[in-house]
Structure 1
Amino acid sequence: MTDLELQAYLQRARTIAVLGAHKDPSRPAHYVPRYLWERGYRILPVNPRFAGEELFGVRTVASLGELSQPVDILDVFRPPEVLLSHLREVLALRPGLVWLPSGIRHPGFEEALKEAGIPLVADRCLMVEHRRLLGTP
């Protein structure tokens, strides 16, 4: 995906699901979605450990299957070795774009998304790319 395409996608997107969202402010799975939430995106936190608790103004759910609305971006804060265990739910969710943070890659997971026609950005921080492409107010 080119910078221009990614910039346009970030401008169009409204809803970002965060698989592995965390309530600890020192963790990227918290401060990245918080940054995005503060810029007007609706954040849908997903983490069974915090299910029922409120993060970013909404109730955290335990699984992607519990989300009942379309998702523009799925930001995945999970280690590479467990990505395939989430594949079925990701494919069922059909997000507009799947984002894997810096340091996260999994060829099998990436290939399955490609075959399903779901665009992917891997090994890049969504917050960093948002700042770079759209600036900060």
Structure 2
Amino acid sequence: MAFQNPSDDERRKILQEAKTIAVVGCSNKPERTSYMIAEALQQAGYRIIPVNPTIAGETVLGETVVGSLTEIAEPVDIVNVFRRSEQVMPVAEEAVKIKPKVLWMQLGVVNEEAARLAQEHGITVVMDRCIKVDHAILVPR
């Protein structure tokens, strides 16, 4: 069966209930989309945990960057993925270990195999959707 994203109502509920979002591929460069979206999510009230092995130990948006999902010592509600589609499988494999509620692949990121793996472990998957756009539309202030 072909992959289908959760409905608008289901995504609204995900965004309303989430508190902590790990942003995989979060950049320390303010002009990068991953930074801008992490900043917008933080301003919307979410706790952001930047994940990027290249800049691990640095600070982005006031939060210490971790090198991998498995370094996060607290529950994560959403793993938001800013990686190329072909690089998502290792992220999904790490996500399975920390058991977030949701694996959310950003707009343009599609990996059916990674989605299947996450779903098999009880993780809801959102694919090829911008979390910031969905938040603006589904959770108006």
Matched, 1:110 2:115: yes
Name the CA distance, whole Å, in 2 between partners of 1:18 and 1:121. 14
Matched, 1:66 2:68: no
Name the residue aligned to 2:80: 75
Structure 1 gaps of 5+ residues are none
* Counterpart amino acid of residue 23 in structure 1: N
- The correspondence for 1:56, drawn from 35, 52, 61, is 61
Aligned-residue identity in percent: 38
Matched, 1:89 2:94: yes
Matched, 1:134 2:139: yes
Name the CA distance, whole Å, in 1 between partners of 2:46 and 2:89. 27
* 1-10 or 101-110, which deviates more: 1-10
Matched, 1:25 2:68: no
* Counterpart amino acid of residue 84 in structure 2: P
| TM-score normalised per structure 2 | 0.92
| TM-score normalised per structure 1 | 0.94
Name the CA distance, whole Å, in 2 between partners of 1:109 and 1:68. 23
Name the CA distance, whole Å, in 1 between partners of 2:97 and 2:31. 31
User: Deviation digits for residues 16-37 of structure 1, max 9, x if unmatched?
Assistant: 0011110111211110110000
* Counterpart amino acid of residue 104 in structure 1: V
Name the CA distance, whole Å, in 2 between partners of 1:86 and 1:55. 20
Tell me how far 1:82 sits from its aligned partner: 1.4
Moved over 3 A (4+): none
Matched, 1:37 2:37: no
Tell me how far 1:132 sits from its aligned partner: 0.5
Tell me how far 1:8 sits from its aligned partner: 1.7
* Counterpart amino acid of residue 122 in structure 2: G
Other structure's SS at 1:131 match: helix
